[in-house]
Chains A and B, each alone.
Chain A
Amino acid sequence: MMQNISRNTSKLLWRNAGIKNYATEATFEVNRPYKLHRLDSGPSTTVSVTRDEALDMYRKMQSIRRLETSAGNLYKEKIVRGFCHLYSGQEAVAVGMKASMREQDNIISAYRVHGWTHLMGVSVAGVLSELTGKKGGCARGKGGSMHMYSKNFYGGNGIVGAQVPLGAGVAFACKYKNNGGVCLSLYGDGASNQGQVFEAYNMAYLWKLPCIFICENNGYGMGTSAERSSSNTEYYKRGDVLPGLWIDGMDVLAVKEGTRFAIDYVLKNGPIVIEAATYRYSGHSMSDPGTSYRSRDEIQEVRQKRDPITSFKERMLETGLATEADIKKIDSEVKKEVDAATALAKSDTEIPVSELTCDIYSMNQEGDVHGLTPDKKLKHTTLKTAVNL
């Protein structure tokens, strides 16, 4: 891991010795170079980041890590039921991408989305309450872990690969409405073999859609390693004529810069396929210990050598972007926030039974909703206003 601290910045730092000064900006080399497919040039390998930006990204990654740990604990206590797919280890992908997204950009992903939900505007309490099925949840507890949504965040989807053509559609609408937005359409290495992914690539290319296809390659589709599931594990090349970009997904700055490049690219040229090489510490879901198909040593090694949060923290400390005190402060604030949210998620109430037949249709013209026996009908109600209107 090489770090080239800009000469000027470091001189400024150490000239006024005695008191350790903050740096307000630092420039880094990405940990691993990008790999390009059908691209003449790629993203810059040097990335500048301000102190505020860096602290913000650190806070966000730490929030996601803590929130996922809390979710895992709640699940073990059987307070969260159903499914729970944790993002621990993959934080840099979401945080780095969000750092380059603009107001008008959209994102859609599969089910490992607690982190994305938080980044797209839902509070930690909103995410945890959704997991525990309470009314404070972002879908009022009706969706659970796999179905969280917010403005410009299209979920939260259960069926593997089905979200990719949807992402292409969102990108089409952005282009049609001329709102300058793009769509980040995320999927995993397991999903990359779904036929509909290729259908989406084809349509996006023909119609030059501002769609960024992103394969979050964490090495395993449930318990199947990428090598056993995919004839071609270079996922950034699977788009064939679509240009592709491989990014080290454990390096938040590389992800940030790579996404900035991609957004710029797709607005001018049409779709691109990104592969973010990342790793998940937990199993596929809470029902999977995650150790029957990979060794504990492998997981430990990634934790020690490539953890996205600790490696970014070290970089901030080494360049003086942040001090130990700054980090400690953020850590304790995040801990407090997540602890409070966890308590709220446990104590909140569930929605009333009358909401069983709420928000099925936009305008229920058929009268009452049919139920368990022909004469037992329930009223249809509309509660939430859609964010896409």
Chain B
Amino acid sequence: MSLIAALSPIRRVLGVTFVRQSRNVSHFTYQPDDKAPIEGEKQKMNMFTAINNAMDMALAKDDSTLLFGEDVAFGGVFRCSLNLKNKYGGDRVFNTPLCEQGIAGFAIGVAAMNVKAIAEIQFADYIFPAFDQIVNEAAKYRYRSGNTFDCGSLTIRAPCGAVGHGALYHSQSPEAYFAHTPGLKIVVPRGPNKAKGLLLACINDKNPCLVLEPKTLYRSAIEDVPLGYFESPLGQADILRVGGDVTLIGWGTQVHVLRETAEYAKRKLNVNCEVIDLVSILPWDVETVCNSVKKTGRCIIAHEAPVTNGFGAEIAATVQEECFLHLEAPIQRVCGWDTPFPHVFEPFYLPDKYRCLEAIKKVIDY
């Protein structure tokens, strides 16, 4: 292979085109929202500051609110809980030992007593010992007790998603495992405004909620965030870009990849993409998505989690059910490969803008 070819970022191996992303450059560029959710005084904040602000407001609003998890007292490994212990005291903001199953079980018990519990799992990759508690205890509490008890006051927050160097156990996106559980609500914010609004909504919501925060956005996502109290509606998707040719659906970090892809598609292919941030994984906004696909006739879903049985599969199944006669091309899923999240292969693993663009080409040319 010639030197130029070897250095080329695009290579074909076994019939598959690979693009080598530079390790030192993100695969996405954060794009802030055009409009703030409410009027009023705003401040430039990154995502962890917005989350900090949300928890500050939640702790102030209701005396019964608690925040706990591993290392939250000093501020948290991602600084989401900075200063909260100093402000509200160690009996409301406190550290737990290293025991996820214990944290979740304990949080469910606290919530069952109608105390607003915000439990932090340090990384979504560590949530699996707590899986039994969340799925079997939290999600089913109201149903199995015939509404005698519920743990609606429970909110679990966990940083998720690829971060560039996370490898197997600091990069996972576990939303699909939990989406399979009726009784839970799951949301994934795309930036500071959404992070604050969704977190406040979840804390107030009368059902156990799981907030998966893409960790790579904690510092890099900066936006003007209103200082007032606001909640973002759960179960509602956001249309970020209107277009008539293809519907692109994603959540979290992937939304920014799709926005960039939509720009490319307009410039290079003259294709107008409609970009939807699903926002809420459970319940998900079937109406917005299907209305969009009925309009465009083409649907591409992208997510970091492995393709087999990722949440894209659920969306694809429902879309083909509801929009069958409107579809101009098969629904495409641009996702992570079916391997554990790799260490050295991360740039090849992620569903970046080049691959999303290829999918757009496919559905347009179908």
Q: Which residues of A contact B (CB under 8 A)?
A: 81-83, 133, 141-144, 146-147, 158-161, 190-191, 193-196, 221-224, 228-230, 292, 350-354, 356-357, 360, 369-379
CB-based nearest A residue for B164: A81
Q: What 4 pairs across the A-B complex have the smallest Cβ distances? A: A158-B169, A133-B344, A193-B97, A144-B343
Central interface residue in B343, B345, B358, by most chain A CB within 10 Å: B343
Residue B18 interfacial (CB < 8 Å): yes
Interface string of B140-166 (1 = CB under 8 A from A): 000000000000000000000000111
CB neighbours (8 Å) of A191 from chain B are: 98
Residues of B within 8 A of A224 (CB): 70-71, 95, 98
27 contacts between A and B (CB under 8 A): A82-B166, A142-B343, A142-B345, A146-B167, A146-B169, A158-B125, A159-B169, A161-B98, A193-B102, A194-B98, A194-B99, A222-B71, A224-B70, A224-B95, A228-B95, A292-B74, A352-B13, A353-B18, A356-B337, A356-B345, A357-B337, A357-B339, A369-B339, A372-B335, A372-B336, A374-B333, A378-B16
- Provide the residues of chain A in CB contact with B170, threshold 8 Å: 83
Once bound together, how far apart are the Cα atoms of A221 and B77, in whole Å?
13
Q: Check A369 against B338 for contact (C-beta < 8 Å).
A: yes
Closest chain B residue to A357 by CB distance?
B339
Given contacts A81-B165, A195-B102, A223-B71, 11 further A-B contacts (CB under 8 A): A141-B343, A146-B167, A146-B168, A159-B128, A159-B169, A193-B98, A292-B74, A352-B13, A356-B349, A370-B337, A370-B338
Q: Is the interface of A mostly helix, strand, loop or mixed?
A: loop
For chain B, the bracket of interface size reads 35 or more
- Please measure, in the bound complex, the distance between the C-alpha atom of A234 and the C-alpha atom of B169, giving whole angstroms: 30
Residue ID in chain A nearest B337 by CB atoms:
A371
* A146, A194, A372, A373 pick with most chain B CB within 10 angstroms: A372
User: Closest B-chain residue to A160, C-beta based?
Assistant: B98
Is the pair A196, B129 in contact by a Cβ cutoff of 8 Å?
A: yes
Given A133-B344, A194-B99, A373-B355, A83-B167 contact (CB < 8 Å): yes
Q: How many Å lie between the Cα of A148 and that of B129 in the bound state?
A: 23
Q: Which residue of B lies closest to A356 (CB)?
A: B345
Beyond A146-B169, A372-B307, is A141–B126 a contact (Cβ under 8 Å)?
no
Smallest CB–CB gap between B30 and chain A, Å? 21
**A370 to B167, alpha carbons, bound, how many Å?**
20
Residues of B within 8 A of A (CB): 11, 13-14, 16, 18, 23, 70-71, 74, 95, 97-99, 101-102, 125-126, 128-129, 164-170, 307-308, 330, 332-339, 342-345, 348-349, 351, 355, 358-359, 362
Partner of A376, one of B16, B95, B308, B343: B16
A372 touches B99 (CB 8 A): no
A252 to B244, CA, bound (A): 71
How many Å from the CB of A126 to the closest CB on chain B? 16
Complex: A376 Cα to B194 Cα, angstroms: 34
A81 CB contacts on chain B under 8 angstroms: 23, 164-165
Q: How many Å lie between the Cα of A94 and that of B30 in the bound state?
A: 45
Q: Contacts A82-B167, A161-B98, A193-B97 given; indicate if A356 touches B348 (C-beta within 8 A).
A: yes
Residues of B within 8 A of A354 (CB): 13-14
Q: Nearest Cβ distance between residue A132 and chain B, in whole angstroms?
A: 9
A359: nearest chain-B partner, CB-CB: B339
Complex interface: chain B residues within 8 A of A196 (CB): 129
Residues from chain B with Cβ under 8 Å of A371 in the complex: 16, 307, 337-338
Q: How far is the CA of A6 from the CA of B153 in the complex (A)?
A: 69
Q: Which one of B74, B308, B337 contacts A378 once the chains associate, using CB atoms below 8 Å?
A: B337
B167 CB contacts on chain A under 8 angstroms:
82-83, 144, 146
List of A residues within 8 angstroms of B343 by Cβ: 82, 133, 141-144, 147
Instruction: Report the minimal beta-carbon distance from A20 to chain B, rounded to whole angstroms.
Output: 51
A320 → chain B, closest Cβ, in Å?
46
Determine which of A133, A194, A229, A356 lies in contact with B339 in the assembled complex, contact meaning CB atoms within 8 Å. Answer: A356
- Are A158 and B168 interface neighbours, CB within 8 A? yes
